[in-house]
Amino acid sequence: MSRVVTRRRTAAALVTAALLVPLAACGNDDKKDSGADKASDTPKANLTVLAASSLTDVFKKAGAVYEKEHPGTKVNFSFAGSQELAAQVREGAPADALVTADTKTMDGLAKADHGTPTVIAKNRLVIATGEGNPKKIGNLKDLTDAKLKVVLAAAEVPVGRYSKQVLDAQKLQVKPVSQEPNVRAVLTKVELGEADAGIVYKTDAATAPKKVDAIDIPDAQNAVASYPAATLKTSKNAKAAAAFVKWLSSPEAQKLLQGAGFQKP
């Protein structure tokens, strides 16, 4: 009789174990799902981001990092002066996000054009000269020398507006030989020797260390540029665009920006 009972108990135990195996498997799946990284929750998309020229180098690196972390997502950048980017938004250019080099340009767009902006970085101005600073330029006042060929960005461009702001504050009159459409055009003129000096962002001068020298402008005489980022209301990839804009404030993105010379937001 005891053998029969033992056999029945053994059979019952085997049945119970068999039933518990799939339940355990389901439990493991649940753990895997709950532990999935956030990147897997981001919709795959082909994003177009309009970005200020001064972000060219660092955003190319940031885009590559983002794409690696978010398989299936492609980030395409269109770089230009902030005022040109704003004009594209007003004209309905197909894009998903916008990053300008100043808050004024972003704020100048209708609220119906973009979401709530988030400042992702800040920047400062420097004087860019030819390598070795052959004209021995040491400060803003030196730029008033009529013998120097100085280039500035146009006044409607953020860096041009900042440049005018700092020069006016010091009551200095500089007559540029040309006014460029964006900060990279100013830097290129100096790199090629077509200008003796120009006012650019610190981060732009840092991209050409073997071609230009950067002369610091004291903080008391300088201007701080803020870079706001926002999604565009016309985006067909709203959730993916929002995820990218949010990522720009992440520790990883901030490390890239600050490594390129940008300041904390």
> What is the maximum alpha-carbon separation in the chain?
116
The predicted structure's pLDDT at residue 2: 43
The string of pLDDT tens digits covering residues 167-201 is: 999 999 999 999 999 999 999 999 999 999 999 99
Asked whether the beta carbons of 137 and 197 are under 8 A apart, the reply is: yes
What gap in Å lies between CA 242 and CA 42, rounded to an integer? 10
pLDDT band at 44 (very low <50, low <70, confident <90, very high): confident
Please provide the DSSP assignment of 4-71 as one string: HHHHHHHHHHHHHHHHHHHHHHHHHHHHHHHT--GGGGSPP-EEEEEEEGGGHHHHHHHHHHHHHHST
The string of pLDDT tens digits covering residues 8-35 is: 444 444 434 444 444 344 444 443 333 3
Q: What type of residue sits at position 34? A: S
In this predicted structure, the answer to whether residue 93 has a pLDDT above a threshold of 70 is yes
Other CB atoms within a 10 A radius of the CB of residue 256 amount to 18
The predicted structure's pLDDT at residue 42: 73
What gap in Å lies between CA 258 and CA 140, rounded to an integer? 26
With 0.85 as the threshold, say if the pTM is over it.
no
The string of pLDDT tens digits covering residues 148-176 is: 999 999 999 999 999 999 999 999 999 99
Chain mean pLDDT for the chain = 88
**Beta strands 97-99; 178-180: pairing state:** unpaired
In this predicted structure, the answer to whether residue 119 has a pLDDT above a threshold of 60 is yes
Task: Give mean pLDDT, residues 201-219.
Answer: 96
Report the length, in residues, of the chain.
Answer: 265
In this predicted structure, the answer to whether residue 50 has a pLDDT above a threshold of 70 is yes
What gap in Å lies between CA 96 and CA 131, rounded to an integer? 39
Asked whether the beta carbons of 228 and 106 are under 8 A apart, the reply is: yes
pLDDT band at 43 (very low <50, low <70, confident <90, very high): confident
In this predicted structure, the answer to whether residue 1 has a pLDDT above a threshold of 90 is no
The string of pLDDT tens digits covering residues 70-91 is: 999 999 999 999 999 999 999 9
SS3 218: coil
What gap in Å lies between CA 174 and CA 141, rounded to an integer? 9
Domains and CATH numbers, the chain: 40-122+226-259 (3.40.190.10), 124-224 (3.40.190.10)
Closest CA to 108 of 63, 58, 161: 161
The predicted structure's pLDDT at residue 40: 56
Task: Give mean pLDDT, residues 123-131.
Answer: 97
